[in-house]
A and B are shown apart, each in its own frame.
Chain A
Amino acid sequence: MNEAPPPTIDALGQFRLSPVIGALGFSQSNVFMLVAAALTLAMLYFGMRPRAVVPGRFQALAEFAYEGIMGMCTSTIGHDGRKFFPFVFTLFFFILFGNLLGLLPFSFTYTSHIVVTFTLALIVFLLTTIVALAIHGTHFFSYFFPKGAPVLLAPLIVPVEIISYLSRLISLPVRLFANMVAGHVMFEVFASFVVMLGGAGLVGGIAAIFPLGINVILMGFELLVAFLQAYVFAILTCIYLHDAVHLH
């Protein structure tokens, strides 16, 4: 990057926050969140504006997004899934655009910070618990003791079920965060190889083609991961909401 003599691989420097408006604690991470929100709104606004019977490309994109998430909600949660459509849609596109924006050069991946993903998971967790309590009242607590299990085992089953329920709070954010961090660290490492080999004469310059090629392949893979992780987060939210609505 600069003229420092020993080239080192600074794989984690890309996740450092730098203040944009220091007084507010407003970092580049927050800037990209706003960009993601603006892009989602723009996609829907410009996608819906033509209102053609036969949709054009952009309208087809917006309709596909709408119908895809709506299908996910109704098929997973059931008929009541429509009520949760706005939430799941927002969640999906916030994560998806976060992942995709992070793949652009000079950008920042806010989904690579566990604070962000954990907050999202906390919102999901609180929502599912509140929904379950609102629909089922105190009957919700029977969720922690499966019907037909021997009462003698209650001291064992209830803590295990509670831990299993709470573990969603960890497994959901860690999955997204770990995928994003791993992908970006790999980008950085192989890109550093290119720079290092490129500085090592003719042989190094030729050899540098290989890590460059790996990064090209990696970019395709990361595009897949960006979609897949947003999808996984959304569908797991739907499954948790299904459990909350139906209590198994």
Chain B
Amino acid sequence: MDGRSGGPEPSFQERLRAARRRHGLDPVVTREPEAFSPWGIGLRVGAELVSSLVVAVGIGWLLDRWLGTRPILLGVFVLLGGAAGVVNVWRLFAPPSSPGGKGPK
């Protein structure tokens, strides 16, 4: 290292991280702690889907009451809530993305 003070370049850091991961030196952050059993996965997915739907229905209902647009926003938010539930489930089982925002692997 000749007089470089800012530490190694990022590409080196990245390669080091990849190598460490490959050899299992870094603790793997588990995003789904309940993934031990199929039961756990099922309950987890159900909870995620239902809870985002509940939140969305709540928001839609309150907005409707506030703005006086009775059925419209509720309907919109039911769809958004379903989408949010699917997003949550995707986040549970998506392959862990690399920190640099790179593609898979």
A residues sitting closer than 8 Å to B (CB atoms) are: 75-76, 147-148, 156, 159-161, 163-164, 166-171, 174-175, 178, 228, 231-232, 235-236, 239, 242
Contacts and interface: CB of A to CB of B under 8 A. Distances in A.
A232 to B, nearest CB: 5
A117 B43 CA distance: 17
B42 to A, nearest CB: 12
Say whether chain A's binding surface is mostly helix, strand, loop, or mixed: helix
Interface string B41-55: 001100110111011
Interface string B75-101: 001001101110110000000000001
Which of B43, B44, B55, B81 has its CB near the most chain A CB atoms (within 10 A)?
Answer: B55
Contacts of A235: 30, 33
B101 A174 contact: no
A164 B52 contact: yes
Contacts, number: 70
Interface in B46-71: 47-48, 50-52, 54-56, 59
Contacts of B24: none
Contact of A169 (B55, B81, B101): B55
Given A170-B55, A171-B47, A175-B43, A164 B27 contact: no
A170 B51 contact: yes
B46 to A, nearest CB: 9
Contact of A75 (B27, B81, B88): B27
Given A147-B101, A148-B101, A170-B55, A160 B84 contact: yes
Say whether chain B's binding surface is mostly helix, strand, loop, or mixed: helix
A151 to B, nearest CB: 17
B47 A163 contact: no
B17 interface: no
A163 B48 contact: no
Nearest to B54: A170
Contacts of A171: 47-48, 50-52, 88
B51 A167 contact: yes
B51 A174 contact: yes
Contacts of A242: 29
Contacts of A156: 80, 83
Contacts of A160: 80, 83-84, 87
